[in-house]
Amino acid sequence: MERVPVLKIGDILLVSIQVDMQDQTALALQEDLADRIVTTGCHGVIIDITGLDIVDSFVGRMLSSIASISRVLDAETVVVGMRPAVAITLVELGLSLDGIRTALNVELGMELLARARAAESDDFDLDLDLDGFGSSATP
Amino acid sequence: MTTDLGLGEPQVLTIAADQDVVRVRQLVRTLAVATKLSLVDQTKLVTAASELARNTLVYGGGGGAEVTVIDGGRRKGIRIVFSDDGPGIADLDLALTDGYTTGGGLGLGLSGARRLVDEFDIDTAAGQGTRITVTKWAR
């Protein structure tokens, strides 16, 4: 069985799917990614599907699962590079890819992750301030 | 030209393992390109074939796919017959409902595949196996 390589670039894990995956390969990728998120502490995952000429319900479900798993592990997933014909087919198939962020290419995907991370740390600062305010109010 | 396509000559593939689903996709893709289906129609047909080949494997316990380039007079098309000797489908209406699954999938394989092709015919009964015939025409 082939394995899809997972590359680490800075704070991001990049997966570029270049082969017509067997279902087992897709499942292995899901596990590999979960492991790599934990071992690297990366906060972003980009899955480049430029090389895929179809996304069926199995691969669609794998993409949704990866997004959910990485979210639980404090990482955000962006799927990039979907071909127009694939998008048209996915919608007609009835797959909505709920909860998956998408961008047109890897570069835009990285920007999206950077913005999401920045927004999240702003929220975090706000939470800290509120906590500080709360604790000073109670003697 | 027609001999290149093997017009009317069915190409038969056994579906017994994960990698056979990949082989079905590859054969259908090759013939869809040769038959000059548009890119969107190629994508739809290959996606439908992928769903149905996986169903043959997972629910039918394995079986076969017969792919034929057919001549409809002014246009050519591709016909694929998926057959298995599995348990069959007892309630066809239910099986064709979006989201219904007995296998832990998304329940879009059968209903979604039907939307992606031009003609869809299913012959099944409990204990009688399943035979699904799909056709996509070049426009």
- For residue B19, the chain A residue with the least C-alpha distance is A22
Give the residue extent of every domain in chain A.
Answer: 6-137
- Ordered by where they begin, the domains of chain B are 2-137 (3.30.565.10)
Please, which residues have CB within 8 angstroms of residue A3's CB and are 6 or more apart in sequence?
A: A25, A28, A29, A32
User: Does the beta-carbon distance from B39 to A92 stay under 8 Å?
Assistant: no
Please report the pLDDT score of residue A133 as a whole number: 54
Given B50, B54, B111, which is nearest A54 (Cβ)? Answer: B50
- Average confidence score pLDDT of chain B: 91
Residues in chain B within 8 Å Cβ distance of A83: 43
- Quick: pLDDT tens for A9-23: 999 999 999 989 999
- For residue A58, the chain B residue with the least C-alpha distance is B105
For the residues A39-67, what does the mean pLDDT come to? 95
Indicate the residue type of B38: S
Whether the CB of B101 is below 8 Å from some CB of chain A: the reply is: no
- For residue A93, the chain B residue with the least C-alpha distance is B112
CATH of A6-137, one of 3.90.1150.10, 3.30.750.24, 3.40.640.10, 3.20.20.70: 3.30.750.24
CA-based R_g, chain A, Å: 17
Cα gap A28→A24, rounded to integer Å: 6
Cα angle value A49/A8/A100 (rounded, 5°): 40
Confidence category of residue B124, pLDDT binned at 50, 70, 90:
very high
Given B42, B44, B51, which is nearest A57 (Cβ)? Answer: B51
Percent of chain A clearing pLDDT 70 (strictly above): 88
- Quick: pLDDT tens for A99-126: 899 999 999 999 999 998 888 888 766 6
